[in-house]
A = this chain, B = another copy of it.
Amino acid sequence: MAKETKNTLRDSVYSSLKAMIVTGQIPPGSRVTENDIAVKLNVSRTPVREAFNRLERDGLVTGRPRQGYVVTEFDINMFREAFEIRELLDGHATELAAATATEQDKARLRAMLAECERLAAIPDRTTREKFQELEVGIDLHRVIAEISGNVMLHGMLCGILDKCQHYVWTELLWLDEWKIARDEHAEIVDAICAGDASRAGTLARAHVRGSRDNVLRLLQAKSDYQNFLAKAS
């Protein structure tokens, strides 16, 4: 049956499908039919269709009339676009969060930071644990957006972060060199806790740019590696 059982089948199917897509279980570019999913999750096509509709709205799948759905393949351009927007939104959200965070909010952020540290310190990490660290790192930004108090901003940032997460997980997680900018996260949380909105915003924007450059560097490395393999064969 479904992975997570919520109130309605539609929501449950949506969650399952989204998880399968974001984590790369269903690889980008692969064609997915309603029937496959319906059979796999043991439900009828109706809730599956509605889940697909929402996923299409999220930009995680693209579907053309009577031709089925394809898991979105993000190219480097979409990635650049997403990070360009993230710099604006994340920066602003972090400023707002620094200005309005309560003690409870601050404790929550520090706890996430600690969890990140804990996961990073595990000696021989499984892939699952590496996933988790990445996920907490991204969740930190979601929580900051939530603390900002701007509900719309929070929603939009969550949508973008989903896509970034999808991209990183499906394209780059095979690289062991991946590193989370733990220091930068810590600095941002510090600035928020100190209530220094201006500094928090500046740090957040720099962090987004840094993450972007880091990913672009890894993509280059990946491309080089693939070229090397192609030449060698």
Taking Cβ atoms with an 8 Å cutoff, the residues of A that contact B are 7-8, 46, 49-50, 53-54, 57-59, 65, 78, 81-82, 84-85, 88-89, 92, 150-153, 156, 160
Contacts and interface: CB of A to CB of B under 8 A. Distances in A.
Contacts of A54: 53, 57
A78 B155 CA distance: 12
A150 B81 contact: yes
A153 B151 CA distance: 18
Work out how many copies of this chain go into the complex: 2
A111 to B, nearest CB: 27
A50 B52 CA distance: 10
Given A57-B57, A65-B7, A152 B85 contact: yes
A152 B78 contact: yes
Interface of A is mostly: helix
Contacts of A153: 81, 84-85
| 5 closest residue pairs by CB, A with B | A57-B57, A81-B152, A88-B88, A81-B150, A53-B53
Nearest to A154: B81
A53 B7 CA distance: 16
Nearest to A50: B53
Contact of A85 (B53, B78, B156): B156
Contacts of A57: 54, 57-58
A65 B8 contact: yes
11 contacts: A49-B50, A57-B57, A57-B58, A82-B152, A84-B150, A84-B153, A85-B92, A85-B150, A85-B156, A88-B88, A88-B92
A151 B151 CA distance: 23
Contacts of A89: 85, 88
A57 B59 CA distance: 12
A92 B83 CA distance: 13
A164 to B, nearest CB: 11
Contacts of A84: 92, 150, 153
Contacts of A49: 50
Contact of A50 (B50, B82, B85, B156): B50
